[in-house]
Structure 1
């Protein structure tokens, strides 16, 4: 279950219904998937072959297709990041820049953990959404955000797209953003 840290007050939201209500109030889609269709190996591996990724997609097909039908996604894939990923730190530097997209950014966490840092409404400011296995999030199009890893430094996620060719990060300069 996701937890939220409000950066301007360092307050935490940890109760499931409060997390859902807060994210909804900020226009962020959230749900939690049952991952029992995954094998223990699929739930604990972070160095995946293309075949491994296809098996994960196959195991999650009913949930992926349901979300795709509801929200208009036409393509999906699996991304895996861990200490075994070549040039991980350089890759994370690219991710850890505030940016926007012309479509929503969707992640379904399959294993490990990650954090979306999202710009909220004026009264909220930036907030961190700490995601664990089963958490599914969609950051709205044009909403400033970025993704990074937790101290665990390992994540496997399903990404869903309306138009993968249009999924380009557009840098967003914001003086109100601080790394804290």
Structure 2
């Protein structure tokens, strides 16, 4: 289950209802998918063949199609990151810059952990959303954020897109606000 840490107050938000409520107030979609649908041989696998990626997409076909219909997403894929990923450090440096997109950034975590750092409203400031398997999040278009790995440095996620070429990151300049 996701855990939120508000940077300027050190408040911690836990529990599905509390996390959902907090994120809803910030305009961020949060859902939780049933991880028992994931084939057991993929539960903690972080290097995936195209066939295994297709298996994940098939296992969550109804959830993906439902979310896509509700939110206008047209295409989706799987991203798998771990220490076995070529050029992982370079990828993380690219991810770890605060940016915005002209569409939502959506991830449904199916294995491992990830963290979104999101700029909230004026009162809230930046907050961290620590995600684990089953957590689904959609950061709205134009909302400053970045995504990175947690200490275990392993994640598999379904990503959904409106534009078929995927997200284009637009740098966001207020990096000094990250501690607020």
TM-score computed with the length of structure 1 as normaliser: 0.96
Q: Deviations over 1:52-79 (max 9, x none)?
A: 1011101110111111111111100000
Where do 1:16-95 residues align within 5 Å? 16-95=16-95
Q: Distance in 1 between matches of 2:53 and 2:24?
A: 30
Match of 2:107 in 1: 107
Q: Deviations over 1:115-151 (max 9, x none)?
A: 0000000000000000000000000000000000000
Unaligned runs of 5+ in 1: none
Q: Is contact 2:8-2:179 (8 Å) kept?
A: no
Range moving further from structure 2, 37-46 or 17-26: 37-46
Q: Distance in 2 between matches of 1:166 and 1:105?
A: 9
2:129 is aligned with 1:124? no
Range moving further from structure 2, 163-172 or 82-91: 163-172
Q: Distance in 2 between matches of 1:157 and 1:165?
A: 17
Q: Distance in 2 between matches of 1:145 and 1:13?
A: 18
| Aligned-pair CA distance for 1:177 | 2.6
Q: Distance in 1 between matches of 2:175 and 2:95?
A: 18
Q: Is contact 1:103-1:166 (8 Å) kept?
A: no
Q: Distance in 1 between matches of 2:132 and 2:166?
A: 27
Range moving further from structure 2, 117-126 or 163-172: 163-172
From the superposition, tell whether residues 175 and 50 of structure 1 become closer, same or farther in structure 2 (CA, over 3 Å). Answer: closer
- How many residues are aligned here? 180
Q: Distance in 1 between matches of 2:165 and 2:179?
A: 29
| Aligned-pair CA distance for 1:41 | 1.5
| Aligned-pair CA distance for 1:179 | 6.4
Match of 1:12 in 2: 12
Q: Distance in 1 between matches of 2:125 and 2:41?
A: 39
Structure 2 residue matching 1:94: 3-state secondary structure: helix
Q: Distance in 2 between matches of 1:8 and 1:179?
A: 7
